[in-house]
Amino acid sequence: MNSGVLATDERGRITAWNPRARDLLGYTREAVLGRSMHRLLHRDADGHVPPERDCRLMRALRTGVPDHGEGQRFAHRDGRLVMCSWSSAPIYTGDQGRSGPAGGVVAGLVIVFQDAADRVAVERERRDQMARVRRANSRLRLVAEITTVLSSTLDEKEVLRRLVRLVVPALGDWAEVDLLIPDGRVERVAATHHELSAADLAGLEGPLPPLPRVPRGPLARVLRGGATVVVGREADVRSDEPLDAARRELFQVMDAQNAIIAPLAARGETYGALTLGYSRPGHGYGPDDRLVVEDVARRTGLVLANTRLYAEQRNTAEAMQRNLLTPLPQLGDLRLEARYVPAAQVTWVGGDWYDAFALPDGAIGLVIGDIVGHDLNAAARMAQIRNMLRALAWDMAAPPGTAPPSTVLARLDGVMAAVSDAELATAVFGRVEEAPDGRWRLRWCNAGHPPPLLITCDGGTHFLDEHGPLLGAPDITGARPDGSRVLPPLSTLLLYTDGLIETRDTDLSDRLTSLRRHGSHLAQLPLPDLCDRLLERIEPSGEDDIALLALRTPA
């Protein structure tokens, strides 16, 4: 057999000993027969024999119950201890054909044992490897979660507040982020500790000393584009930089035993630094930890790069859109107010516009419009259409006769196809004219746009529902009718784009009813206040731009 085998009598004296037992423990058969199994096999590191009552092998003799064990150390003849696995089975005497404790008296014990050192080492290595795999999987899940959570917002500071909450306590006892502001300042924007309260940490956040031109401290080196730095409590090299003094103050508050500082960088630019640390002695950052922290920092750097790119594009689109919107003219006793609210996302900005201008025959031209599409290209096409409509309205209002609004829009349709790359647009073009009796009249034409809302001073509301096909859609036939309506004294005419009334999860008729109700409640407010309060009450979804043009007639 490839296992050692021994047998004992009822008192635990050895009665059998096979060759493999001799190979494993060094004793010959003649040297062990008749000796106490317990005293022969069991020794501690100092050579002492442990109490027999604690011996599981002897317990099997007393109880008659089979047993087995792993990692038991048996004494070798040369004094060393051999790690073995074993199993024991009692020997019974009694009636023929009966077995088990009920079958007779325990007359001895048979023990089978093997060298378990290799197996224990393999098992230990397997457990260690599984623990490493579990740690790796746990950190991969953490990195994936961090990526998902950070990518769900485009608010830079919120990104970093979420980051420190995610990495503690998974990667350290505390964490903080120092951010390079685009104007060159350094600011600590987020800090957390697994034991300290938010009140304890509040004083740590805020502006930091400026980044030195020649960096010497670890934080300054990382912010200047350096690699990740691991800082130990004793090995901390001090510099005379004010920024490094702020870093040491932080370490003191955090009771830092060691820390790792990793750059938040992407596309060749460093946006800040993530500092993680342990407050408990005996914990540190090895090569594997460093790889994980650097991966988290790199992913955060990409999120920051995208956040700043988004903000830059949004600001560019919004600035372009606002610059394309003309200032409102002063038109006698009429009052004009306009509002423009950009969409929440940069890809939704562009295309909405309003316009108001005096015409050569004395009338006032009013326009609200929306180019199909969103982005900088839509804003550019909007400028084309706005300028063409303004020119056509001016030209067709000159002597010898004034063309109605529907004719102006029909002419715009033809010009769009010839000189513009804009495909589709909606618009309302109206003329506000003063009659000899002092009353004001609106004549308008609607090309597929949401209906203007007329609000009288007593709170009455009327949608001007006459409308026709969109601009730039030659396949859609049908004339665009002209509408005409007297504007009562102190009434408000409200022109708006669909961003004010359209949302994904709400019925359009409900939103129009809401606009009508709020307009009625706000009818007597000054025109600027009416516009502001209306936007507050309607609560637009932010999914689209909003252009709002309001006109109020005199008393």
Whether the predicted pLDDT of 98 surpasses 50: no
Q: Specify the pLDDT at position 111.
A: 95
Q: Over 143-193, what HEC string results? A: HHHHHHHHCCCCCHHHHHHHHHHHHCCCCCCEEEEEEECCCCCEEEEEEEE
Q: 470 Cβ partners below 8 Å, 6+ apart?
A: 424, 425, 426, 447, 448, 476
Whether the predicted pLDDT of 191 surpasses 90: yes
Q: Between these two residues, 462 and 372, which has the higher pLDDT value?
A: 462
| Rounded Cα gap, residues 176 and 208, in angstroms | 13
Whether the predicted pLDDT of 102 surpasses 60: no
Amino acid at 93: T
Whether the predicted pLDDT of 551 surpasses 80: yes
Whether the predicted pLDDT of 103 surpasses 60: no
Does the predicted TM-score (pTM) go above 0.75? no
Whether the predicted pLDDT of 139 surpasses 80: no
Q: Between these two residues, 330 and 190, which has the higher pLDDT value?
A: 190
- Domains of the chain in sequence order: 4-115 (3.30.450.20), 138-313 (3.30.450.40), 325-552 (3.60.40.10)
> Could you give the 3-state DSSP secondary structure of residue 438?
coil
Mean pLDDT on 26-52: 90
Whether the predicted pLDDT of 207 surpasses 80: yes
Whether 369 contacts 449, CB under 8 Å:
yes
Q: Specify the pLDDT at position 97.
A: 45
Whether the predicted pLDDT of 349 surpasses 70: no
When the pLDDT of each residue in the chain is averaged and rounded to a whole number, the result is: 86
| Rounded Cα gap, residues 354 and 367, in angstroms | 5
pLDDT band at 318; cut points 50, 70, 90: low
> Could you give the 3-state DSSP secondary structure of residue 418?
helix
Mean pLDDT on 329-355: 79
Least confident of 189-203, 208-222, 313-327, 343-357: 313-327
Q: Between these two residues, 116 and 474, which has the higher pLDDT value?
A: 116
CA angle 283, 286, 287 (to 5 degrees): 165
| Rounded Cα gap, residues 135 and 259, in angstroms | 20
Q: What's the token pair of residue 377?
A: 């290209």
Q: Specify the pLDDT at position 379.
A: 73
pLDDT band at 376; cut points 50, 70, 90: low
Q: Specify the pLDDT at position 306.
A: 84
Q: Specify the pLDDT at position 497.
A: 93
Whether the predicted pLDDT of 280 surpasses 60: yes
Whether the predicted pLDDT of 96 surpasses 60: no
Whether the predicted pLDDT of 323 surpasses 90: no
Per-residue pLDDT tens digits for 394-408: 999 877 778 999 999
Whether the predicted pLDDT of 347 surpasses 60: no
Which H helix or E strand runs over 355? strand 352-358
Which of the residue ranges 231-245, 446-460, 535-549 has the most confident prediction, judged by mean pLDDT?
A: 446-460
Q: Specify the pLDDT at position 94.
A: 67
Q: Between these two residues, 509 and 417, which has the higher pLDDT value?
A: 509
Q: Specify the pLDDT at position 128.
A: 84
